[in-house]
Amino acid sequence: MASSRSSRTRVGRYELGRTLGEGTFAKVKFARNVETGDNVAIKILDKEKVLKHKMITQIKREISTMKLIRHPNVIRMYEVMASKTKIYIVLEFVTGGELFDKIAAKGRLKEDEARKYFQQLINAVDYCHSRGVFHRDLKPENLLLDASGCLKVSDFGLSALPQQVREDGLLHTTCGTPNYVAPEVINNKGYDGAKADLWSCGVILFVLMAGYLPFEESNLMALYKKIFKAEFSCPPWFSSSAKKLIKRILDPNPETRITTAEVIENEWFKKGYVPPRFEQEDVSLDDVDAIFDEAGDSQVLVVERRDERPSQPVTMNAFELISKSQGLNLSSLFEKQMGLVKRETRFTSKCPANEIISKIEEAATPLGFDVKKNNYKLKLHGEKSGRKGPLSVATEIFEVAPSLHMVEVRKSGGDTLEFHKFYKNLSTGLKDIVWRSGDDANGDLTGAELPHS
């Protein structure tokens, strides 16, 4: 965890570290249990937003169900805490990176390896569905690997927090990454969460084996047309039984689409299949009940305590730096390779931190962004509303060595393609502060060349 000399935040027995990801409703931070030394991820929800969207009952139900789920292919939820303004969900932290980093490195996976991951994905999805929890946003960044290469699905039940089920028992919110979303979700006529999740699993299986998306168009309407007709073709290296299964999963009609139970009985799926082994253990829901107790007993509330120190950028040690690189290939330590749906990039600078902040502000303001500063972090908010609302970007400066800083630029809201375009424009204004090794004659930031996601 990055140790900050400016301040350390404690919540209950956890010391919060760097931000791992951000969404509309939540932020995920790396944290350490100070009593056991264990690393965890903490999802932080804003209570005000939760109340505003009348989501309390749903969140309580989702969190209670998720806490009861103990499955080897689903990220574990350990406990839930709340302060006066926030809800903290303590989750398992896995270190193997995203499954899709493997595709970025290898191009595509061999059929047997793809099948192994697909089996684990279906195990997780089927188990959660049997308990009434649907993911609704299965996509590459939700598929993580632990240290031993075992697939872990993250955000089960939590990704769907802003969604509502109407009286007809169907979900009615269009969500998810367009390329992975089932046609009935886009159609907005209500959909069955289990059938929609399975469609996304089919797209994921295709990408694992092909190395590219089955439905890919830069124009959103053209993309939707392809999805509605399930207009795609399998590459020649897919076996005929894999092709047949994928065609049955990517059936645009949810009524005739294969079910998860039928997938599990499919001959291609069953090859080398090892059912998951795990034990159910007694789990208490006392913490969930306590934080949602209408009386709001202040005794159960935690407080975010800040240990203030002289303001300075967060310092990173070598281990933290290596853990952020891909496959320990040091050339990609700073300029993060943009994968299929990457939403962040990095660059390094030998300029002082204050100068970097001023330059980012100077470059972002003419692009129509409102800039908010907090020590060595910047929040940039777009004034125009894009395809998924206004684009917002978070940047943070880390001190790698006394005269070297790493700057992380991360999308925290809005559309990924718009973020790619914004970063390309921003990098033009930052050219003179970026540090490049002597013989790198390329005048552009490596991270600025971003393929479509």
**Which tens digit of pLDDT belongs to each residue from 190-209?**
778 899 999 999 999 999 99
> Which of 266, 199, 211 is closest to 235 using CA atoms?
211
In this prediction, residue 322 has a pLDDT band, given cuts at 50, 70 and 90, of low
The residue written with tokens 């645009």 in the block is 252
Longest dimension (CA), the chain: 65
Residue of higher predicted confidence among 158 and 274 = 274
For the chain, give the percent of residues with pLDDT over 90: 27
In this prediction, residue 23 has a pLDDT band, given cuts at 50, 70 and 90, of low
Amino acid at 318: A
CB atoms within 10 A of CB 268: 17
Report domain extents, the chain.
Answer: 7-93, 99-270, 314-448
CA distance 256 to 251: 7
Q: Rounded to 5 degrees, what angle do the CA atoms 175, 181, 182 make? A: 115
- Cβ density class 75-94: b for 16+ within 10 Å, e for less: bbbebbbbbeebbbbbbbbb
Residues 394, 379 contacting (CB under 8 angstroms)? yes
CA distance 343 to 409: 9
Residue of higher predicted confidence among 425 and 342 = 425
Residue of higher predicted confidence among 157 and 303 = 303
Q: Which residues are annotated as a binding site for ATP?
A: 43
Active-site residues: which are they? 137
Q: 314-448, which class in CATH?
A: alpha beta
Residue of higher predicted confidence among 292 and 253 = 253
Query: DSSP alpha helices (H): ranges in 230-352?
Result: 240-249, 260-265, 267-270, 286-291, 318-323
First vs last C-alpha separation in the chain: 29
Average pLDDT over residues 63-76: 85
Residues paired with residue 40 on neighbouring β-strands, in sequence order:
31, 92
DSSP element (H, E) containing 393: strand 389-401
For the chain, give the percent of residues with pLDDT over 70: 77
Residues 43, 412 contacting (CB under 8 angstroms)? no
CA distance 153 to 40: 15
Cβ-proximal residues to 342 (8 Å cutoff; 6+ apart), any chain: 336, 450, 453
How far, in whole angstroms, is CA 242 from its chain's centroid? 28
Dihedrals phi, psi of 351, to nearest 5 degrees: -75, 155
Average pLDDT over residues 444-452: 36
Instruction: Tell me what pLDDT residue 336 has.
Output: 40
**Which tens digit of pLDDT belongs to each residue from 325-381?**
544 444 344 444 433 345 677 888 888 888 899 889 888 988 889 898 887 888 898
> In this structure, which topology does domain 99-270 adopt according to CATH?
Transferase(Phosphotransferase); domain 1 (1.10.510)
CA distance 297 to 317: 41
Residue of higher predicted confidence among 140 and 379 = 379
How far, in whole angstroms, is CA 383 from its chain's centroid? 24
Q: 7-93, which class in CATH?
A: alpha beta
Instruction: Tell me what pLDDT residue 202 has.
Output: 97
How far, in whole angstroms, is CA 205 from its chain's centroid? 18
Residues 309, 91 contacting (CB under 8 angstroms)? no
Instruction: Tell me what pLDDT residue 410 has.
Output: 85
**Which tens digit of pLDDT belongs to each residue from 47-61?**
887 777 666 777 777
* Average pLDDT across the chain, whole number: 78
**Which tens digit of pLDDT belongs to each residue from 228-284?**
999 999 999 999 999 999 999 999 999 999 999 999 999 999 999 988 887 666 777
pTM: 0.65
CA distance 100 to 331: 19
DSSP state of 171: B
CA Rg, the chain, in Å? 22
